[in-house]
Structure 1
């Protein structure tokens, strides 16, 4: 159930236009623009494929089945983003007046969105390989040839071919890039990679027992991707520790803004702009504010009424819930339930 409430300066324009002209093929976020993952379907993504770069165009033209999995991956990512940010001032809302403006900036929130989407695409393509839904790949049997086990188990079965999913995510999301380009592109390339590695670097071993009476004298094992919720949790921790960066003097690298900040590695998230105040509505910043958001009166942290409502206060209200209750099993084979109606107390931000 869902509850209720949920003048750019000329110089800046010239700078943005300059970077667009020197990097015409590296429009990293274009697939978000021509087919936002909020409403994305395979046709929407590739509708303007003439504007897409290099391998993006090729995938759209020749691998529609991959595009379908990219769509699924983006939806998976959006769902996870909304779960991870449900209690924060910016809650990964799908409202265009917010989401589009967030994506055009290099905020910590944007870093997470790009990372989780790259992870989602990797995940969905890999799953499709294992399920036999793609002609280009199957499951991963390479580890069957690996004999380095402890004798209690052996590689076998059909594992997840994460390398193929990683490759397709990189080809489509990173497109074609030049050696020198703007800081935004470099940041988004970095965060895309961090997202993919949050899947690839955490493959787990899954085993099946063999032996009489379940004695498990031998196990057959294969590699499987982590649960996507665990991927989201890991990237959320990276979001909390994300590093603010600037472009190096030679324009080739991004470096930490301060001398005391640790240089981020490939698995860290990076950003270059401070996040706006999401407490109050701002059309320019893409903030919807938190008025009307449901908060937790018992929490003193993120999601708590004081924090989520930005100390503006909150009000008490009620919502009506309908659910099945007093269910009886009738032999054979029906279940008959009554409908129970009750009110639930909620608190919403002023």
Structure 2
């Protein structure tokens, strides 16, 4: 494991021009231990481009939200892709990344999109919760209230979240002179897709008022769905991502679909430049950890099935004893007692 980590670290040093834009995900390592109340704290994370450092110095209060976004990006990605061969292991060692994120793959597309959405999501909610002095609740909805509800409460400030989030997430691609133009365009496009999915996740949330919970009156506001819901939508786009090439369209070079270059790239689709490994076998040069010893579902027909997860190599079965609460009873007033029950379950892991 130590040798693998060393290889990953050396690789990122040689190819940092591609992943520098998401080095901030490394805030999961030391970001929580920083007070973020002095400008020199901004230098604690290597890899931030000048514009990101400037944003940090001028808006120190935002950094706690960005640290939170880094943590949520990692958790949401790993949870959402836990049933696939690629289970978002590429960001485990952030700010050091596996090679698959440095080559413009569909995996890098979804990580960039999710990270971009997470920054704006975290800032928007921090505004509504009163954690940031520079912003407050989101503006009141323009649409008229219905007969059974009124606008009120404190909605997530998506406008401010998008403004500050895009400034932070897009800065490396807009200012850096390193890296290919195609890669920069790809990352900027996918960042925008992530933020659009976040915008689409805004929904009406309500709280009831009335005698004995009658809900005769409802107070409603606009709020964002959880980041896990955003990640689920991005997973669908990941599965349907479009491979693109960088070529002249008219007087300038643009990203166009490799197979159907007669149409422009849609604003709603994730794009990638390089095909991914199959992630079946361990390969440090490709950024694949392989699926050996990964748990699979014997009865599933989906991506977590033993056939797909194990790449046809077969699987081993073992039994595991689980102790859980059971036969719970409510006692007036007001506690619950439960017994402990033991059951045996069968697990399957890839060969």
CA distance in 2, matches of 1:326, 1:120: 40
CA distance in 2, matches of 1:209, 1:335: 28
| Deviation string, structure 1 residues 53-100 (Cα, Å, up to 9, x no partner) | 343112322323211111111211221111221111111125449943
1:173 and 2:174 matched: no
SS at match of 1:129: helix
Checking the alignment, whether the CA contact within 8 Å between 1:140 and 1:160 is kept in structure 2 is: yes
Checking the alignment, whether the CA contact within 8 Å between 2:117 and 2:198 is kept in structure 1 is: yes
Checking the alignment, whether the CA contact within 8 Å between 1:49 and 1:57 is kept in structure 2 is: no
Aligned counterpart, 1:184:
183
CA distance in 2, matches of 1:228, 1:105: 26
Go from structure 1 to structure 2 and tell me whether the alpha carbon gap of 1:80 and 1:49 turns closer, same or farther (over 3 Å shift). Answer: closer
Aligned counterpart, 1:24:
none
Go from structure 1 to structure 2 and tell me whether the alpha carbon gap of 1:151 and 1:193 turns closer, same or farther (over 3 Å shift). Answer: same
Aligned counterpart, 2:153:
157
CA distance in 2, matches of 1:195, 1:203: 13
Checking the alignment, whether the CA contact within 8 Å between 2:114 and 2:231 is kept in structure 1 is: yes
CA distance in 2, matches of 1:261, 1:282: 36
CA distance in 1, matches of 2:246, 2:231: 28
Aligned counterpart, 1:270:
271
Deviation at 1:101, TM superposition (A): 2.0
Aligned counterpart, 2:26:
36
Query: How large is the RMSD of aligned CA atoms in angstroms?
Result: 3.2
Checking the alignment, whether the CA contact within 8 Å between 2:24 and 2:47 is kept in structure 1 is: no
State how many pairs are aligned.
Answer: 326
CA distance in 2, matches of 1:197, 1:136: 23
Larger deviation, residues 227-236 vs 290-299: 227-236
CA distance in 2, matches of 1:211, 1:323: 39
Aligned counterpart, 1:240:
239
SS at match of 2:29: coil
Aligned counterpart, 2:75:
79
Give structure 1 stretches of 5+ with no counterpart. Answer: 1-15, 21-26
Aligned counterpart, 2:4:
none
1:321 and 2:314 matched: no
1:288 and 2:284 matched: no
CA distance in 1, matches of 2:262, 2:79: 29
Please give the TM-score of this superposition, normalised by the length of structure 2.
0.81
Give structure 2 stretches of 5+ with no counterpart. Answer: 1-13
Go from structure 1 to structure 2 and tell me whether the alpha carbon gap of 1:261 and 1:72 turns closer, same or farther (over 3 Å shift). Answer: farther
CA distance in 1, matches of 2:228, 2:176: 35
Larger deviation, residues 278-287 vs 317-326: 317-326
1:221 and 2:220 matched: yes
CA distance in 2, matches of 1:147, 1:300: 44
1:89 and 2:90 matched: no
Deviation at 1:333, TM superposition (A): 5.8
CA distance in 2, matches of 1:105, 1:77: 20
SS at match of 1:346: strand
Aligned counterpart, 2:124:
126
Please give the TM-score of this superposition, normalised by the length of structure 1.
0.81
Deviation at 1:214, TM superposition (A): 6.5
Checking the alignment, whether the CA contact within 8 Å between 2:27 and 2:45 is kept in structure 1 is: no
